[in-house]
Chain A
Amino acid sequence: MSRDRFERALLKVLKPLVIAFLVLITAFPFLYMVMLSVRDIQELILDPGSIWPSAFTLDTYVNVLTKQGFLTFLRNSAIVAVASVAVTLLISIPGAYAVARLRFFGRRQVHFLFLAVYLFPAIVLAIPLFVLFTMIGLRGSLIGLILVYIAQTVPVTVYMLRNYFETVPRSVEEAAAIDGCTRLSTIWRVVLPLSKPALMATGLYAFMIAWNEFLFALLFLVESRESWTVSLGLSQLAGSIEIPTTVLMAGSVVLTLPIVIVFFAGERLLTEGLTAGAEKG
């Protein structure tokens, strides 16, 4: 058998094995998470090796949502995430447009500064912000947290949006200007509708940061339980012995499900090309 045929045959066997392995290591843990969240803790301790529960129960979810306060945490996380997304877009759309289209003093430097900021370790920032928020009493409030998330995401979203705005043909904007649009209404009526996929992507990014973030939530909110986010709540309760692991697994599902749904719902929209047909001839 020639080397070529041997390699092809080997790859033909290896490829499905690799794919199966990848699916196993990524999907199995999450399947296990769901399976663990719908059984009684007694069952886990008596038979830790079983994957399929012998008796299904949803008491774990009732427990985690009401008794452990996850409903409140969910509300907090939703407030933080939605506010972060809204303000991030509000700030970064004009910013990105300026960097993409307008010539002003310091345009290139601004761009560089943002990337430098992005690469700077969060733990360095965490210290002065911790001190500052303690001093002005913002520690323990969701507003302080939202501010930090916006500042963390804006450099990246400006960069993402700028790249997209540059692909919007100038001639479309010029046509709008000739038709009597001011600069702001050009952005609102022409650039934004054409940039929907990029807006979705940036919104998604800001949402993911705000929903998943842990360090700043821990530093700022740990002492005020009623403002805990879901991430912080789960991490704080995970250490306690009184709460059964299966109940906490239900909490993990509650924490994971929204972001997975949002991600995959948004991802599909991203693939739609919207500039197609905007400029003819």
Chain B
Amino acid sequence: MTSRVKSPRTLKEQEARAGLVLISPTLIITLVVVVLPLLWAIMLAFQDARLINIRRVGIFGHYTLENFTYVMSEPGFWTSLVNTLVYTVAGTALSIVIGLVTALALRDRFRGRTLVRASILIPYVAPVVAVTFLWETMLNPQYGIVNTWLAEPIAFLTQARGEFLGIEVPVALLTVIAFEAWRYFPFAFLFILARLQALPAELDEAAVVDGATPTQRFRYVIMPQLWRIIALLSVLRFVFTFTKFDDVYLLTGGGAGTEVVSVRVYNFLTSRDDIGASAAQAIVLAIFLVVFLAVYLRFFAGGEREQG
């Protein structure tokens, strides 16, 4: 009571104060564990920092562009960037297409749908370490079950190039992409199914009355209402996959032509102890991500306007 007498506050001021107090734990932890480290990462990228001399590298240390010129001229950097792009685009597209097909197949009720749905969600829910180990075992050239079905065993995860129907294909990279599609199609499925089930039934029924065939209804009635969620999914999956580390690292360790930039960053950090160079590489990755996103959004924002 006394404090209220001392400083009479309006309800609005009280509300603003309460708001700041309640949000502050959230702000503090994101500031300390996310924002400040992020700024520090940018600083480190411009410094000659190694684990041994890290204590001597201060805020006012020597700033240089050397890390950037070094990592970009290093053999393998541009290859890994191309790998990252191929992996991301193919993984994103495949997971969304399979997710869409799955959502359409599971749209209507049928006996056992709950069980089927549960089964489909498991690859996404299960820990990445367990599923990568499972894939490694199943694809193992010596005792993997998949290879017992084939006439000739294929080293899916350790072979950079192979021949398929006379065409040279990047075996390991394709396997990693297949893994990505398999693991993340349930994510796309969940989003698309939720949207599908929220669609008004009248439009579809009207199209049936007008004599539209199932494919016509899909093309002209359902798809136009799904573009928005698919666009959102593409952005989300693109962002997540572009900087993904676990999947590729656990499946191939970045070997056999599957090295993506995030795995490279990790290798620079741990085996070379070169903090500056790995930070520079991570920053370059983030910049490319922003550029690709900007290009994508520009194109897509235009496309969406056309559809109204």
Contact = CB atoms under 8 A, between A and B. Distances in A.
Interface of A: 3-4, 7-8, 11, 15, 18-19, 22-23, 25-27, 29-30, 32-33, 36, 44-45, 48-49, 51, 90-92, 94-95, 97-99, 102-105, 107, 110, 113-114, 117, 119-132, 134-135, 147-148, 150-152, 154-155, 158, 183, 208, 211-212, 214-215, 219, 230-232, 234-235, 238, 245, 248-249, 252, 255-256, 259-260, 263-264
B182 interface: yes
Interface residues of B, number: 84
Interface string B106-128: 10000000001011111101111
21 contacts: A18-B101, A23-B116, A26-B122, A27-B122, A29-B135, A91-B26, A94-B21, A95-B26, A97-B22, A103-B15, A104-B17, A120-B38, A124-B38, A124-B285, A127-B41, A127-B44, A128-B38, A151-B30, A152-B34, A154-B26, A260-B125
Nearest to A147: B33
B61 interface: no
Contact of A121 (B20, B49, B282): B282
Contacts of B20: 98, 104-105
A30 B122 contact: yes
A22 B185 CA distance: 11
Contact of B18 (A92, A98, A129): A98
Given A30-B122, A117-B35, A127-B44, A235 B18 contact: no
A164 B39 CA distance: 32
Contacts of A120: 34, 38, 286
A120 B282 CA distance: 11
B30 A125 contact: no
A256 B275 CA distance: 34
Interface in B153-173: none
A117 B285 CA distance: 16
Contact of A124 (B130, B275, B286): B286
Interface of B is mostly: helix
A172 to B, nearest CB: 18
Given A103-B15, A131-B54, A212 B128 contact: yes
Interface of B: 12, 15-23, 25-27, 29-30, 32-35, 37-38, 40-41, 44, 49, 51, 54-55, 101-102, 105-106, 116, 118-123, 125-131, 133-138, 142-145, 147-149, 182, 186, 211, 213-215, 239, 242-243, 245-246, 250, 262, 265-266, 269-270, 275, 278-279, 282-283, 285-286, 289
Given A32-B138, A45-B142, 11 more contacts: A11-B214, A15-B105, A22-B102, A29-B134, A102-B15, A117-B34, A121-B262, A124-B243, A132-B37, A154-B29, A231-B129
A18 B135 CA distance: 22
Interface of A is mostly: helix
A26 B119 CA distance: 6
Contacts of A245: 137, 143
A73 B67 CA distance: 38
B133 A125 contact: no
A30 B135 CA distance: 10
Nearest to B240: A119
